[in-house]
Every structure is written in C-alpha cells, then in structure tokens.
Amino acid sequence: MVPFRLRYLCLYLAVAFPLLGACAGCQTTPSRPAVPVDGVPMPRELCKVVLPTYRIEPPDVLMIDAVHIVPKSPYHLRTLDALALQVGGALTDAPIEGVFPIEPGGIVKLPPAYGSVRVAGLTIEEAEKAIEAHLRNYLREPRVSASLAQMAGQQQITGEHLVGPDGTVTLGSYGSVPVVGLTISEARAVLEHHLSTYLDNPEISVDVFGFNSKVYYIVTQGAGTGDRLYRFPVTGNETVLDAISQINGLEQVSSKRIWIARPSQGVEPVTILPVSWESITACASANTNYQILPGDRVFIAEDRLVAFDTSLGKIIAPLERIMGFTLLGTGTATRLSGPVLKGGGNPTNNF
C-alpha cells in the first residue's frame, strides 16, 4: 500500500504542475520593434534632439520677478506698503530719514520722539501733508518729502507661483491669469497685459521654476511581489542609463529585458524601443541608449526564474498548510489510538 504521506505528495504534484505551467507561459514581451520615423533615427545618447518649446501646464511652478512695477496715479497707500521719508528741520538727535513700513492699522511709526501717523488710504501728497501736520506738534517748521519705496502688491507678484488645475496663476489682489498651453514668452506678455490694468507699463520676467508637467515613468515588474512605478521630470537630456540610475540600477527580481514604450497620438500604434542592457553598460554602445522623451515608459521586465519561484511559493504555501494540518491530525489520532486508549497510559502497562 502506498504510504499516507506519499499519496498526499502525489496529489499535490498533480495539482501544482499544471498551474505552474500556466503561470510560466504568461510573459510580457514587446509587440513592436523600434523603427525610424520618416527616415529620422530615434534620438539616442550620441544623437540627441532638442525638445520642442516648453508649454506651461499644471502643475508647473513659475518664477515671476518684478522688473518695473509702478502703480497708476493716483495711488492710495495700503498696509504693508513702505514710504521713503526725509524730513527737514527735525531734531538733531532724532532725525527722520529712511524707509518706514505702513503697519497693520494703516499707521507709520516715526522715531519714538514723534509718535505715529495714520496714512492708509491716502495718496502720497496727502500722506506728506498728514505727516507734516503731525510733526508740527513737535517741530517748528518741518519739511516732509515722501515717496513710495515698496508696494505691498509687488510681494504678490514676485516669487513662485503654482499653475493650478484650471491652468491659471494667482497674483493675489491682482487676480488670476490663464497661462496653460503658453510658452514662457507668451506667458510673460499675457501677465504684463493683465497687470497693465493696475500698473503703469509693468515689466516682469517669467521662468519655469518647477518642470512638473513633462515627465517619464520607470516601471519594474516585481516577479509576483508587486510592480513598482517611478515618476521623474524630463529635463531634455536623459537617456535610458540616466533613467535607471535614478532608481539605483536593476533590482534582484529584474531581468535584463528592458524596453521603452513610447506613446503616440491618434490611432498610431505604440512604439517599442528594445534596449540591450549589456551593450549600453559593458560595451558602452549608444545604439540602444535612447533619449528619454516626455511620456516615455521605461519598462524593466521581471526575472522569469524569480517569478516562477514566487508563483511556486504561492501555490505551495496553502498546500503545505493543508498537509501540515492533515499530518498533525493524523499523528495525533495515531498516538491517541490503540494501546494508549486501552491501557489509559503507557503501552507497557498492558504486559
């Protein structure tokens, strides 16, 4: 008679191997080789191309600097503006000269000997008169000269600005301006035109601080342990080697089967660019070290042996648990049966 454990082992093998064969047969492979487009070879390490003019999209970050920001006349002072004051006839030990911010409450704090003056809502000329009238309480003949040193609105313009989901950048009290799909020069012209409603011939500089909308992806198969996805911005100079260096090389579960899946517009099929890992690393060949373009997927296939071992472990694990419980139950029943139950103790007590 076939031993009890051997029968379970034969049953397990009869179930496991057909399933393993089905798992091993499902492998992802490239479907379309790399071919030149319109006779132009694919850009690669020693034959790179310049990317098209950058178009602003969410969630890019724009850096805006105010080159020439002058308010339209008449300008009414606001909190957080700064006044440049120069007062003639002031006390020798307490001169009034320098830049004085308009603090919350709309007041300008003069040196301690002169107190403070409320100027928010006044024009520059009106502020001069208000300060001069206040100083007559302390000085005989004060002569006040005031000018706008800094606008509070300038702080709302200068700095980093995130392009929102609606494709606009917000400039504080100056409102929002749509910039999606524009180049940097076009965005600067649109922003200056919008600010001209509030300012006199505004001039600004615009640059992209965070290139967040043009990215590529690296996908690594996990050999049954879960795939990994990485997202990196495109700077216009990356190759396959640069991309894989971002994830510190290939993992233990990865094979050397690598390709780029490049999306296409319309109904055109996806372009597949196979990569020879040995050639671009050990042989320093640039033939398959392709330049990364926006939207590319660098796909790193799994090691089939590791995937097979993982699949085998997934199938064996539940069967091992079943067999373990079965063998444990059988062993327990065998030990408690026969002479043990009849003698109520050690089998030697029956002799």
Identify each DSSP E strand in the chain by its residue range.
Answer: 61-68, 82-88, 97-103, 107-109, 116-118, 143-150, 159-162, 168-170, 176-178, 203-210, 215-220, 228-233, 254-262, 271-276, 297-302
Same domain (yes/no): 263, 279: yes
Tens of pLDDT, residue by residue over 233-280, are 998 899 999 999 999 999 888 999 999 999 887 667 788 999 999 999
Using left for φ > 0, alpha for ψ between -120 and 50, and beta otherwise, residue 201 falls in left
b/e string for 148-169 if b means 16 or more Cβ within 10 A? eebbbbbebbbeebbbeeebbb
Question: What domain range is 254 assigned to?
Answer: 38-52+214-303
Interaxial angle between packed helices 4-24 and 304-336, expressed in degrees from 0 to 180 and rounded to the nearest 10: 160
Tens of pLDDT, residue by residue over 84-106, are 999 998 888 889 999 999 999 89
Same domain (yes/no): 206, 218: no
Q: Pick the residue with more confidence: 341 or 231?
A: 231
- Strand bridging mode 61-68 / 143-150: unpaired
Domain count, the chain: 3
Tens of pLDDT, residue by residue over 155-176, are 788 899 999 999 999 998 889 9
Q: Last residue of a domain, which of 150, 170, 198?
A: 150
Q: Dihedral (C-alpha) 232, 236, 238, 243: value to the nearest 10 degrees? A: 10
Q: Which residue has the tokens 């079943």?
A: 322
Residue 144 sits in a domain of what CATH number?
Answer: 3.30.1950.10
Tens of pLDDT, residue by residue over 175-208, are 999 999 999 999 999 999 999 998 889 999 999 9
Same domain (yes/no): 265, 224: yes
Predicted confidence at residue 220, as pLDDT, reads 94
Q: Last residue of a domain, which of 264, 287, 303?
A: 303
User: What is the rounded distance in angstroms from the CA atom of residue 70 to the CA atom of residue 239?
Assistant: 46
Tell whether 179 is covered by a domain. yes
Q: Last residue of a domain, which of 182, 210, 238?
A: 210
pLDDT at 33 over 50: no
Same domain (yes/no): 188, 218: no
User: What is the rounded distance in angstroms from the CA atom of residue 85 to the CA atom of residue 114?
Assistant: 14
Predicted confidence at residue 38, as pLDDT, reads 47
Confidence of residue 29 (pLDDT cuts 50, 70, 90): very low
Q: Pick the residue with more confidence: 141 or 19?
A: 141
Predicted confidence at residue 13, as pLDDT, reads 52
User: What is the residue-averaged pLDDT of the chain?
Assistant: 83
Predicted confidence at residue 5, as pLDDT, reads 46
Q: Dihedral (C-alpha) 178, 179, 180, 183: value to the nearest 10 degrees? A: 160
Q: How far is CA 217 from CA 220, 288, 318, in A?
A: 10, 18, 36
Same domain (yes/no): 191, 220: no
Q: Pick the residue with more confidence: 335 or 8?
A: 335
Tens of pLDDT, residue by residue over 119-161, are 999 999 999 999 999 999 999 889 999 998 888 877 788 899 9
Count each helix (H run) and each strand (E run) in the chain, helices first.
Answer: 8, 15
